[in-house]
Structure formats: C-alpha cells, structure tokens
Chain A
Amino acid sequence: MNISTKHNGNAMTLELKGRIDSLTSSEFEEQIMDLINSGETRLVADCTQLEYASSSALRVFLMALKSLRRKDGELVLFGLQPQIREVFDISGFLDLFQIYQDRDEALNNV
C-alpha cells in the first residue's frame, strides 16, 4: 500500500495504491485520521490504483466518514475498480458514501 496526498483547492486528495488489508489498514487509518485531526474537512479518495480492500479498509473509510460528518465535512471516493465497488455494495456502503466516476466529478461534489 502507498498513500500520497495532494491539495486541490480546499479539498485534499488521497491517492490510494495497492492493497489495503488487515495488516496495512492501520497505516491507512493513521494517515486519514491525521488529516482529519489536523483540520481537513474535504477529503477525496482516489481509488483508481487501489487493487484490494478488505473489511479492515471498509472500517477505516467508515470511521473517517463518521468523523468528518460530525464536523460538517465530507469524504467522497472515485475510480473504484469493479470488484471493490462490489464489496462496497455487499457491505451496504453505496448508501453511505458518495462515489463518483472521475476526479472532476468527485472534486465538484466534495
């Protein structure tokens, strides 16, 4: 797993690469919660290069979303590969998250 961050106007984009499993999810949790705790409220997760996400990744997405919504913030996702989207669907996460096709759409809606 590799995460890089980028400012786009008032939003912060996290590029998620590789695999987020039960081992690497703690690093993902640390990075995203650090951003939220440092005051970022508009987060965009770029999932185009995310190859694998287990329920531990879902747990971090959920934790981040809850934390942001309490501060009137938002986390939106884009570029999910079909099999990851399916896992979001099975978990009932498509009702909770705003998921977009591409970066522009995500940035317009965060």
Chain B
Amino acid sequence: LGEQKPQNLNFTLCNDLSEIKHIYKNLDRFLKHCRFSPRDNYSINLALEEWFINIVKYGYGDKSEHQIQIGVDFRNNVLRLIIIDDGKPFNPLEYPLPDLQKPLEERKIGGVGLHLIQNLMDTISYSRQNETNILVLEKKVTTVK
C-alpha cells in the first residue's frame, strides 16, 4: 500500500445547532472516500462536533449570524482539521480539565467535550489571528481496505 493521494475538503457553517447535520453529511463522504477505520471516523467527527458546539454556545455575545470555516485535510497519514471562527478569544489549552474522579452527584458534564478532543486527537494548536480563533487538530489515522 503506497501513500494515499492528499485529499481536502472545505465548508462553512453558521453558528446554529442545526448545522450539526451538515458536519455529518460533509464529513461522511470525505471519510468514506479516505477509508479510515470506524474508530478514526468517530474521533474526527466527534472532535469537530465538540469544538463547533463550543463555538456556537459560548463564542458569541450577539444574536447575529456568524460563519465558521472548516478545513479538512489528509496527507501523509495525518488528518488535519482546521476550524476558524470570529467569536470571543478562547484557548482550549488554557482551559482546566474536568475532574473525572468525582462521585456521581458532583459530576458535571461541562468540559467533557474539550477533554474528549484532547484525548482523541494527537495534537491541538490554537492561535488568535485577525480577531479569529484558529484551532488546528491533527490525528494520525489508519486506513482500511
């Protein structure tokens, strides 16, 4: 098996929860084409959803429509997600991890999404440029026949 041809996909979402279905539709075709393992597909879809939801819920202080740009790129066995939004500055690397050892009654779900991203992706880089948040997530993936 040689190196796969580089693949990429770009799309834009509005800051609305209902856009989730477009994440799935857009990614699904791309991921099927790339033939990643079900586990990798799941991780990539989940990471994108969790970050998107975070932007929609906490990113904006106004009621206006905003565009969130998604780039997906696959080359040299590395899948890269690039997500750009013009919301409030938010660096996930500075966000404290949830305490996952607490007993049931004290357990809260907040922060679990970011924790999932950190565990399922290999690298996370964040930068703030031109009043936008730029998140780059990378994962080394395995392809199946």
Contact = CB atoms under 8 A, between A and B. Distances in A.
Interface of A: 19, 21-23, 52, 54-56, 58-59, 62, 65-66, 69, 81-84, 86-87, 90-92, 96
Contact of B113 (A23, A54, A65, A83): A54
B50 interface: yes
Interface of B: 17-18, 20-21, 24, 38-39, 42-43, 45-46, 49-50, 53, 100-101, 104-105, 107, 109, 112-113, 115-116, 119-120
Given A55-B113, A65-B104, A92-B100, 17 more contacts: A21-B20, A22-B17, A22-B49, A23-B18, A23-B20, A23-B21, A52-B42, A54-B113, A55-B50, A55-B53, A58-B109, A58-B112, A59-B112, A66-B105, A83-B39, A90-B119, A90-B120
Nearest to A65: B104
A66 B104 contact: yes
12 contacts: A21-B49, A22-B17, A23-B20, A54-B46, A54-B49, A55-B109, A58-B109, A66-B107, A87-B116, A90-B120, A92-B100, A96-B104
